[in-house]
Amino acid sequence: MSGKLKVGFVGCGAFVKNFIPLFKAHPYVESVAVTDLIKERRDEIAQKFEIKNVYDSFEDMLKGDVNTIAIFVQRQLHGPLAIAALEAGKHVYSAVPMASTPEDIAKIVELVAKTRLTYSMGETGYYRPCSVFCRTKVLSGEMGDFVYGEAQYNHDMRHFYKSYQRSGGEEWKMVAGIPPMLYPTHSTSMILSSACSYALKVAAFGYEDHHEDEIFGKGRNYWDNPHSNTSALLHLKNRGIARISENRRIGWYSPQSYVTCCCGTEGSYESSMAQHTYVRLKGMDAEPEDVSAILNTPAMEEHKNEPEFLKNLANGKWANTTAPIQNIARLPEEYKDQHDGHGGTHKFMVDDFCKAAYTGKLSPTNAWVAARFNMPGLYAHKSAIRDGECLDIPDLGDPPADWAMLDPDNDLAASGRKHVIG
Ligand SMILES: NC(=O)c1ccc[n+]([C@@H]2O[C@H](COP(=O)([O-])OP(=O)(O)OC[C@H]3O[C@@H](n4cnc5c(N)ncnc54)[C@H](O)[C@@H]3O)[C@@H](O)[C@H]2O)c1
How many Å apart are CA 78 and CA 95, to the nearest integer?
8
pLDDT of 2 reads 65
Do 68 and 180 lie in one domain? The reply is no
Q: 11 CA to middle of ligand 1, Å?
A: 6
- Evaluate whether residue 214 is within a structural domain: yes
Residues 137 and 23 in one domain: no
d(CA 421, CA 398) in angstroms, rounded, equals 9
What spacing in Å lies between the alpha carbon of 17 and ligand 1's midpoint?
A: 11
Q: Which of 98, 124, 150 is the last residue of a domain?
A: 124
Same domain, 100 and 249: no
Task: Give pLDDT tens digits for 43-79.
Answer: 999 999 999 999 999 999 999 999 999 999 999 999 9
Segments forming the whole domain that contains residue 72: 5-124
96 lines ligand 1 (CB under 6 A): yes
Average pLDDT over residues 250-267: 98
Quick one: which atom of ligand 1 is closest to the CA of 163? 15
Peptide bond into 179 cis (omega under 30): no
Expressed in angstroms and rounded, the spacing between residue 4 Cα and the centre of ligand 1 is: 25
Last residue of a domain, one of 75, 99, 124: 124
| Predicted model pTM | 0.96
Same domain, yes or no: 229 and 321: yes
CB distance 279 to 289 below 8 Å: yes
Calculate mean pLDDT across residues 206-232: 98
Helices (H) and strands (E) in the chain, counts: 15, 15
Question: Would you state the pLDDT for residue 3?
Answer: 82
pLDDT tens profile 312-337: 999 999 999 999 999 999 999 999 99
Cα 202 to averaged position of ligand 1 atoms, centre (Å) = 29
Domain at 64, CATH number: 3.40.50.720
Atom of ligand 1 nearest to the CA of 14: 16
